[in-house]
Amino acid sequence: MHEEIKDILKRNNLSVTGSREKILSLFLSKAGALAHGDIEKKAGEKFDRVTVYRTLQTFVDKGIIHAIPTADNSIRYALCKDDCSGGHHHDHHIHFVCNHCGNTYCLDDVVTPEVRLPNGYTTSQIEVVVEGTCKACNK
Amino acid sequence: MHEEIKDILKRNNLSVTGSREKILSLFLSKAGALAHGDIEKKAGEKFDRVTVYRTLQTFVDKGIIHAIPTADNSIRYALCKDDCSGGHHHDHHIHFVCNHCGNTYCLDDVVTPEVRLPNGYTTSQIEVVVEGTCKACNK
DNA sequence: GTAACTGCAAAATATTTGCATCCTT
DNA sequence: AAGGATGCAAATATTTTGCAGTTAC
């Protein structure tokens, strides 16, 4: 188990427990985003469904991961880069859903574009989800 | 009941029924998007929850309405402009969620911006959801 | 030792399916 | 009359809550 995992937990004032390490390592080892169901499966029945719900919620609250809304309305989660601490999360990157392999990726290098709103509207956050075919599936 | 409603249904080869007319008129009379729960409430217990599920699904299939994914993962639906017929729906406008009044709007005048993806990725659809404060709440 | 975390059971919600009946065309 | 749509009941699935036992610090 990487030291990095413990670091992340400690940095966020969370106790280091088995389920948190396991779930966090799933996120670190996989490029794409994970849905609740993926985590239950991948973890291999090791821990309770309720623990997964609570752990994910805790991670979102602390800004360790963020939720990605997709068109088919399955919630997926992905690691936040840098410091999205204290629930004040701001994405500056876009999300990509591959229609072929079904994976969801954060394209960290693609900055969310400017959006010009009509007069009277103010913006606090912009979420961009692009659907298409990813690099791997395009080969 | 507007004639327009019957037209929309007929145009899509759907029988004109009470629940469909009612639900469609809710969408036509309201600027913002509606969640499943909103519809059940606003309809005033007139029809079954199951009917609402099935009607919404039918409308989405026919391209009469489209689903809007939001960060808090509540599914909302809004009317499609023009012809998004036959399940081949493409948004060209952005969605706006007001953090103040909670409403979701389609900003039909704001075109989705170009997104420059890394090499190897191809795009089929872009979904943009902006959060902030809407015109009415900013006064 | 204390506060925080987990697992189990159960409650509360949400969604889907089957089928008999009713309505639209 | 025939096919489609609705409503009800019930089966599934999902998410939340309470609480007792366990673990991290």
B63/C1 CA-to-C1' distance in Å: 62
Residue of A133 and A37 predicted with greater confidence = A133
**If pLDDT is split at 50, 70 and 90, which confidence band does A5 have?**
very high
Q: Is the pTM of this model over 0.95?
A: no
Q: What is the rounded CA–CA span in Å between residue B139 and residue B132?
A: 14
pLDDT at B3 over 90: no
| Residue B91 confidence (pLDDT) | 58
pLDDT at B54 over 90: yes
Q: What is the rounded CA–CA span in Å between residue A75 and residue B120?
A: 25
| Residue B82 confidence (pLDDT) | 57
Min Cα distance B1 → chain A (Å) is: 32
Residue of A3 and A96 predicted with greater confidence = A96
Q: All domains of chain B, ordered by start, with CATH? A: 2-132 (1.10.10.10)
Please, are residues A43 and A34 in contact by the beta-carbon 8 Å criterion? no
**If pLDDT is split at 50, 70 and 90, which confidence band does A91 have?**
low
Min Cα distance A1 → chain B (Å) is: 31
Inter-chain residue contact B125 with A130, CB threshold 8 Å: yes
Inter-chain residue contact A71 with B125, CB threshold 8 Å: yes
pLDDT at A94 over 70: yes
Average model confidence (pLDDT) across chain A = 85
Nearest CB to A120 within list B70, B118, B138: B138
Cβ < 7 Å from nucleic strand C: A 14-15, 17-20, 46-48, 50-51, 54-55, 58; B 9-10, 15-18, 36-37, 49-50, 53-54, 57, 75
CA angle A4, A8, A9 (to 5 degrees): 120
Q: If you write DSSP's letter for every residue of B18-31 in order, what string do you get?
A: HHHHHHHHHHHH-S
Of chain B, the percentage scoring pLDDT greater than 70 comes to 88
| Residue A115 confidence (pLDDT) | 87
Q: What is the sign of the dihedral through the CA atoms of A92, A96, A102 and A105?
A: negative
Contacts 24+ apart (CB under 8 A), B24-30: B24/B59, B24/B64, B25/B1, B27/B65, B27/B77, B27/B78, B27/B79, B28/B2, B28/B4, B28/B79
| Residue B45 confidence (pLDDT) | 65
List strand residue ranges (DSSP E) for chain A, in order.
34-35, 65-68, 76-79, 93-98, 104-111, 122-133
Q: What is the rounded CA–CA span in Å between residue A59 and residue A14?
A: 9
Nearest CB to A121 within list B75, B126, B135: B135
Q: What is the rounded CA–CA span in Å between residue B54 and residue B100?
A: 31
Highest mean pLDDT among B12-16, B37-41, B83-87, B108-112: B12-16
Among A132-136, B3-7, B58-62, B86-90, name the one with the lowest average pLDDT.
B86-90
